[in-house]
Structure 1
């Protein structure tokens, strides 16, 4: 149980690093005329991610969830791969990556790295992590609840993001 608690703490530290990067990138984007879209859905996303970490810890400790190696090790591997994909997205987007939907005018869509094959690879990482991380220690209730809540949030988020990208493309002059 101590190892799982440490894992959740490490993911929490990773989230703080993400928020630090996002805050810096948000300042950069806004200073270049960036526009934030869908501000109202963001608190729900933040709450769901906090709930994932807190829920997994509470479920593990309060319901005395066991570590089952045949489930736990593959789920840990999947969670690590999800983190790798997330940071690949962050590195690929550079200053344009954010936890919020902010569009900087006149910048083309990124079509390299994981974006070469997927439109929203970061959300693939979020879905995988939301399932895998709690299941490292058989916290199936947290995995199920987060997945249900997250799918609703992602549906809203992707709609907002696609609309924002479409609007930005409509106002961006065509290159010669």
Structure 2
């Protein structure tokens, strides 16, 4: 197995495990009376992230690995773990707003409003660049920016709706 494919296996298994965690957390939150917002854009987001992975799988073979950018990716993974640990059972891939619970303000949320989105923005650009795939980094960064424009507006509106 080559290093590019080992990296892709790691990322793919990570994303799959996160989907299971997100599904479990979503069910628990909904059972406690939480409300989902932004449901209509969710399939588009899943398609975008899935196609990003598919394009990477189809293009990384035999490419050199930039070890400095791989180190940046490792730092991003530590940040991802920090975000998920801070959110705990409230972390999902959907916009789920718990009833009578304020937004999380500890951990990385003390530093920035949407730390998970920061990590995702960086990953979508950095991972392709690890393999020298500039076009993938640019294309999916633009697509992700459009997705986050919709998603962050929906998320902010959801918390304003709950606060009202």
TM-score by length of 1: 0.88
Tell me by how many angstroms 1:52 deviates: 1.6
Tell me by how many angstroms 1:20 deviates: 1.0
Give the count of matched residue pairs: 164
| Structure 1: runs of 5 or more not aligned | 171-176
Q: Distance in 2 between matches of 1:73 and 1:47?
A: 29
TM-score by length of 2: 0.95
Conserved? CA contact 1:78–1:128, under 8 Å: no
Q: Distance in 2 between matches of 1:57 and 1:28?
A: 33
Which residue is 2:137 aligned to? 143
Conserved? CA contact 1:78–1:129, under 8 Å: no
Q: Distance in 2 between matches of 1:76 and 1:158?
A: 28
**Per-residue Cα deviation, 1:115-134 (whole angstroms, up to 9, x for no partner):** 01111000000011011111
Q: Distance in 2 between matches of 1:44 and 1:93?
A: 24
Which residue is 1:102 aligned to? 96
Which residue is 1:32 aligned to? 32
Among candidates 84, 96, 103, match of residue 90 of structure 1: 84
Query: Are positions 1:7 and 2:26 aligned together?
Result: no
Structure 1 residue ranges, 4+ long, deviating more than 4 angstroms after superposition: none
| Structure 2: runs of 5 or more not aligned | none
Q: Distance in 1 between matches of 2:89 and 2:95?
A: 13
